[in-house]
Every structure is written in structure tokens, then in C-alpha cells.
């Protein structure tokens, strides 16, 4: 799976031999030395788990791309961390609005000899099945899907239901009306995990709590992850129906929820994936009660680091409450110390197996 580095090492040795043979020629000496230095670094890195200098990592976003202040931006944070800390060369690409060119973009990176290629989102599953077979010497990783099995593919998956359980409890403990809302981007099994956890956490904290569940779009229409206008429309309807805390799992559409909260008044919104309080505009920060943290940044960085170290394995790597792969944010200090204490207690019960969080509604 990772024998590309042995090929690099062979190239280094060959380059050194040519250098020695051509040492009398200044031009040849310079060229041979430059090539040898670059490749030696990559070969040494693969052996001792040090710097990733000389390795190239490409990443293709989900629809909406960088700037969604959520899922894609978290992936970008992990990618740039790898660039800064490990020294890998990076490239990031954004698919078309409908995502029809996902496979084309993966192939572009593979044909350009990128060493590791990451697809951000479960919608890359079909494309990954094709490109992993056609480029067996390239290492791939996919976020949010474990349905494709290949010797050169690692799946980075999360226990979203666990983090959603905690923010569901936070919502119920904060709500004055007992009425909550959930907005999903697209009604697929992955997003239903967010819904299931949120509802379970809310009813755990307040058995009388109710949750109004709405989805923006249905597959094969995935526009629900990048339709803030529709997200705002749904949120305004939920707030108008008495909900005073709404949680979204809708990617870029979540911006519409924040706008609706700002316009409605004494209500709260809950962010997703990253700490959205930190990326939202100052005018809406006061409306973001908490965010369900899904550490896509950690998953992307750790996968790249494992690749650089030479110990990335195929199959699924799970990020959950036990390894802080999911969680909740406290930015803005809107959650009281008592509520935070209760959430930490619930977290420990989940980790200990005393509470089993459902993965489907």
C-alpha cells in the first residue's frame, strides 16, 4: 500500500550514483544534487516518522467548499496543520455545486502523483470505489463513510450521535418552552445519526421535551447542505411554532438558522462540526448556545500524520467521546456551570457504556 516510498528510496540511490559518475560536470552535479536532496528527505521521513517534506497530500471538499464555517473548514484546518507541522505539500479542490465532478477531481490528483488523497464527505463513496481500484499505489482516505473497502483506503468516521446527545441535553436544559427544533441538510442515514442523538439527549434531560424535525432536501438532491435561505425559512417556522432552541446539521445552510435566531429575539441556535461561535459574525455570536464538535480537523491531521509515519492502516478509524473525536463547545459562556457539569456526567456515562445512544431516529 505504501511502497511508493521504496520507489523514492530507489530513486535516491540511483540519483546519488549518477551524481558520483558525473561529478566532473557542474550542470549535471547541481541537477543530481537537487533531486537527491528532495527524495532523500521523503525516504528518510517514511522510515523514522519525522517530517513529511517531499510528500504531497490532496484534498477534495464536499459541496459548498471552503468557507462554510463548518465541515469543510474543519477539514481545511486539519490539512493546513499537517502542512505547518509535518511539512507536507498540500492541494485542495472544490467540486461543482452539485458535486458531479467528485471522481474527476480525485483522478486529477491521483494522475498528478499525489501521495495521499482525501475525500471529505460520505458522497465520495462511489467515486472512491473506482479510483482506489485504478490507482492501487496511491493512498486514499474518506471522511464519513466506511462502506468502501480497499487496501489503499482509510475511512475516518465519527460517533456524531454521541456529540449530538450532549447538545440535545444542553438544549433541553436551557429551553424555557420545552420545544426544540432540528434542521438536517439532507435526509440520509448519516444526518439521521445527528437527529437521533439530539432527540435522545433532549428527552434524557427533559422527558417532556419535544423536537420539531425538518430536512431541507431529499437525496439525490444534496443542495440542502448549501442553502442558507431555505435553512432560514425552516428555522423561522420552528421558532414561530414555539421552539426556542434549534440545532442544525446542515453544513453551509446553518448560516440561515443563525440569521433566523438573530431576527427572532429571545431564542438560541446550536452549531455543528466546528465551534461556530468562533467563526460566526459578531452580530450572531450571542445567539449560538453551543456547537456539537465533530473533530474533522483532528481526523484529517491524524490520518496524514499516520501516513507520514508509515503506519496508516486501511479500514475504519472511529472518533467518538472516548478520544474527544466529538464533543460540545463552551465558547461565549452561555452554558451554566451546572449544565456543563450535567453534560460531563452524561458524557462519562456514555463512555462507560451506561448510556447507549441510538444511531437512528
Query: In the predicted model, is pLDDT for residue 326 greater than 70?
Result: yes
Region 25-50: mean pLDDT is: 35
187: its cell numbers: 435526509
Query: In the predicted model, is pLDDT for residue 282 greater than 80?
Result: yes
Q: What is the pTM of this model?
A: 0.80
Rg (CA), the chain: 23
- Evaluate the omega torsion of the peptide bond into residue 220 and state whether it is cis, within 30 degrees of 0: yes
DSSP class per residue in 280-327: S-HHHHTTEEEEEEE-HHHHHHHHHHHHHHT---SEEEEE-GGGTSEE
Other C-beta atoms closer than 10 Å to the C-beta of 66 total 14
Q: Strand 56-60 vs strand 89-93: parallel, antiparallel, or unpaired? A: parallel
pLDDT tens digits, residue range 250-276?
A: 999 999 999 999 999 999 999 999 899
Query: In the predicted model, is pLDDT for residue 20 greater than 50?
Result: no
Q: Please report, in angstroms and rounded to a whole number, the separation of the first and last CA atoms in the chain.
A: 38
CATH of 54-158+295-326, one of 3.40.50.2300, 2.40.110.20, 3.90.650.10, 3.40.50.300: 3.40.50.2300
pLDDT tens digits, residue range 232-253?
A: 999 999 999 999 999 999 999 9
The CA distance from 180 to 12, in Å, is 61
- Strand (E) positions, 36-115? 56-60, 89-93
- Strand (E) positions, 84-209? 89-93, 116-120, 139-143, 153-158, 179-186
Parse the chain into domains and list their residue ranges.
1-48, 54-158+295-326, 160-294+330-352
**Quick check: do 54-158+295-326 and 160-294+330-352 share a fold?**
yes
Region 2-10: mean pLDDT is: 41
Residues 262, 265, 268, CA angle at the centre, nearest 5°?
70
Query: In the predicted model, is pLDDT for residue 204 greater than 90?
Result: yes
Which positions ≥6 away from 322 have C-beta within 8 Å? 351
Region of poorest pLDDT, from 4-13, 31-40, 332-341, 342-351: 31-40
pLDDT band at 97 (very low <50, low <70, confident <90, very high): confident
CATH of 160-294+330-352, one of 3.40.50.450, 3.40.50.10470, 3.40.50.2300, 3.10.400.10: 3.40.50.2300
Average per-residue pLDDT in the chain? 88
Q: Strand 288-294 vs strand 326-328: parallel, antiparallel, or unpaired? A: antiparallel
Query: In the predicted model, is pLDDT for residue 1 greater than 50?
Result: no
Q: Strand 315-319 vs strand 116-120: parallel, antiparallel, or unpaired? A: unpaired
Region 166-191: mean pLDDT is: 98
250: its cell numbers: 446542515
Residue 192, H or E segment: helix 189-205
The neighbouring-strand residues paired with 272 are 292
Query: In the predicted model, is pLDDT for residue 18 greater than 90?
Result: no
Other C-beta atoms closer than 10 Å to the C-beta of 284 total 18
- Strand (E) positions, the chain? 56-60, 89-93, 116-120, 139-143, 153-158, 179-186, 210-217, 245-249, 268-273, 288-294, 315-319, 326-328
Query: In the predicted model, is pLDDT for residue 34 greater than 60?
Result: no
154 vs 19, 117, 165, 301, CA distance in Å?
38, 10, 27, 13
Ramachandran bin of 332, using left for φ above 0, alpha for ψ from -120 to 50, beta for the remaining angles: left
pLDDT band at 71 (very low <50, low <70, confident <90, very high): confident
Amino acid at each position: 500500500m505504501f511502497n511508493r516510498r521504496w520507489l523514492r528510496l530507489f530513486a535516491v540511490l540511483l540519483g546519488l550514483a549518477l551524481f558520483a559518475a558525473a561529478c566532473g560536470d557542474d550542470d549535471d552535479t547541481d541537477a543530481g544534487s537537487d533531486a537527491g536532496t528532495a527524495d532523500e528527505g521523503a525516504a528518510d521521513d517514511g522510515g523514522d516518522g519525522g517530517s513529511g517534506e517531499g510528500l504531497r497530500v490532496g484534498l477534495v471538499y464536499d459541496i459548498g467548499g471552503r468557507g462554510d464555517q463548518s465541515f469543510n473548514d474543519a477539514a481545511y484546518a486539519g490539512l493546513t496543520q499537517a502542512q505547518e507541522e509535518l511539512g507536507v505539500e498540500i492541494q485542495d479542490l472544490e467540486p461543482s455545486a452539485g458535486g458531479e465532478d467528485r471522481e474527476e477531481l480525485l483522478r486529477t490528483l491521483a494522475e498528478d502523483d499525489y501521495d495521499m488523497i482525501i475525500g471529505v464527505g460520505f458522497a465520495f463513496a462511489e467515486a472512491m470505489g473506482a479510483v482506489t481500484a485504478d490507482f492501487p499505489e496511491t493512498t486514499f482516505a474518506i471522511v464519513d463513510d466506511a462502506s468502501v473497502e480497499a487496501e489503499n483506503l482509510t475511512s475516518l468516521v465519527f460517533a456524531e450521535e454521541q456529540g449530538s446527545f450532549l447538545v440535545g441535553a444542553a438544549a433541553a436544559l436551557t429551553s424555557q418552552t420545552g420545544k426544540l427544533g432540528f434542521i438536517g441538510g439532507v435526509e440520509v442515514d448519516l444526518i439521521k445519526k445527528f437527529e437521533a442523538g439530539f432527540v435522545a439527549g433532549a428527552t434524557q434531560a427533559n422527558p417532556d421535551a419535544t423536537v420539531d424535525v425538518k430536512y431541507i432536501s431529499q437525496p439525490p438532491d444534496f443542495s440542502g447542505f448549501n442553502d442558507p435561505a431555505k435553512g432560514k425559512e425552516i428555522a423561522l417556522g420552528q421558532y414561530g411554532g414555539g421552539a426556542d432552541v434549534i440545532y442544525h446539521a446542515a453544513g453551509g445552510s446553518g448560516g440561515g438558522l443563525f440569521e433566523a435566531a438573530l431576527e427572532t429575539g429571545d431564542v438560541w441556535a446550536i452549531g455543528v462540526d466546528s465551534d461556530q461561535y468562533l467563526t460566526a459574525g459578531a452580530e450572531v455570536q450571542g445567539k449560538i448556545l453551543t456547537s456539537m464538535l465533530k473533530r474533522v480537523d483532528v481526523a484529517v491531521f491524524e490520518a496524514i500524520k499516520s501516513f507520514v509515519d508509515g503506519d496508516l492502516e486501511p479500514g475504519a478509524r472511529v472518533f467518538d467521546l472516548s478520544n474527544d473525536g466529538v464533543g460540545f463547545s463552551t465558547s461565549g459562556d452561555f452554558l451554566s456551570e451546572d449544565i456543563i457539569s450535567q453534560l460531563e456526567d452524561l458524557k462519562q456515562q456514555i463512555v462507560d457504556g451506561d448510556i447507549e445512544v441510538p444511531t437512528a431516529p
